[in-house]
Amino acid sequence: MKITQTPLVILNFKTYLESTGEKALQLAMALEQVAEETGVNMAAAPQGADIWRLSQEVEIPVLAQHIDPVDVGGHTGSMLLECAKEAGASGTLINHSERRMQLADIDLVVSKATAADMTSVVCTNNIQTSAAAAALGPDFVAIEPPELIGSGIPVSKAEPEIVEGSVAAIKDINPAVRVLCGAGISTGEDMKAALDLGSEGVLLASGIILAPDPKKALLDLVSKI
């Protein structure tokens, strides 16, 4: 089922050991607990091999980190949308800065996700690519300046003009597309600043995954909204 509620927190598990295998499950359970305790919508984006396990164990949406622009058939080593869906993914990140795609391929995966009733989250790196992504009609565009990813310096404070500019450009092209922002987000103040700039949630990773107590970090993240 598609994600419809905001504010939304999507935790991208990336390939940290702290969010792999058994630890991925623990992290997903922490997300679920915080969602239940606070009423803030949370989603997990684990590695492909963890999608099935997590989707069996938690009720929050589980997203793929990437789907390949391929159809069924001979494509060894690819992540097929149909397979991710059967494994329990209800959506996918697309074009993350760490997994960039060509424009036509982004369009193909957004279209496939829409046809499969899966949530599409297209990641972008600046205002221009945010506008281009909005024209493809995904559910969400997530603006993440690459230089701030993993830096601990929050985009919502370091580059507020990119978030505000992306929100304006996206809404101008397609008001139905919702906007997230990410990169360096970790605290309640960072998230509040992101929402104040017009974003409807955050896409984040290291600030939670590498925190000594991820559940506590998540509670802090949503403490000011």
Residues that bind ligand G3P (CB under 6 A): 12, 96, 144, 149-150, 182-185, 203-207
Minimum Å gap between C-beta 201 and ligand G3P is 12
Phi, psi of 36 (to 5 degrees): -70, -40
Q: How far is the CB of 43 from ligand G3P (least distance, A)?
A: 12
Q: Of residues 36, 59, 86, 144, which has the active-site annotation? A: 144
Pick 163 or 185: Cβ nearer ligand G3P:
185
Q: Which residue is nearest to ligand G3P (CB)?
A: 206
3-state SS, one letter per residue, for the chain = CCCCCCCEEEEECCCCHHHCCHHHHHHHHHHHHHHHHHCCEEEEECCHHHHHHHHHHCCCCEEECCCCCCCCCCCCCCCCHHHHHHHCCCEEEECCCCCCCCHHHHHHHHHHHHHCCCEEEEEECCHHHHHHHHCCCCCEEEECCHHHCCCCCCHHHHCHHHHHHHHHHHHHHCCCCEEEEECCCCCHHHHHHHHHCCCCEEEECHHHHCCCCHHHHHHHHCCCC
200 is catalytic: no
Which CB, 73 or 113, lies closer to ligand G3P?
Answer: 113
Query: Between 90 and 206, whose beta carbon lies closer to ligand G3P?
Result: 206
Shortest distance, CB of residue 208 to ligand G3P, whole angstroms? 8
199 or 206: CB nearest ligand G3P: 206
Q: Which two tokens stand for residue 157?
A: 């404070």
Least distance to ligand G3P from the beta carbon of 166, Å? 15
With a CB cutoff of 8 Å and minimum separation 6, the contacts of 58 are: 28, 29, 31, 32, 44
Report, in Å, the least distance between residue 94 CB and ligand G3P. Answer: 12
By C-beta, is 78 or 187 nearer to ligand G3P?
A: 187
Nearest to 60 by CA among 91, 81, 83: 91
Verify whether residue 22 is a known catalytic residue: no
Catalytic residue among 22, 32, 96, 98: 96
Active-site residues, by number, are: 96, 144
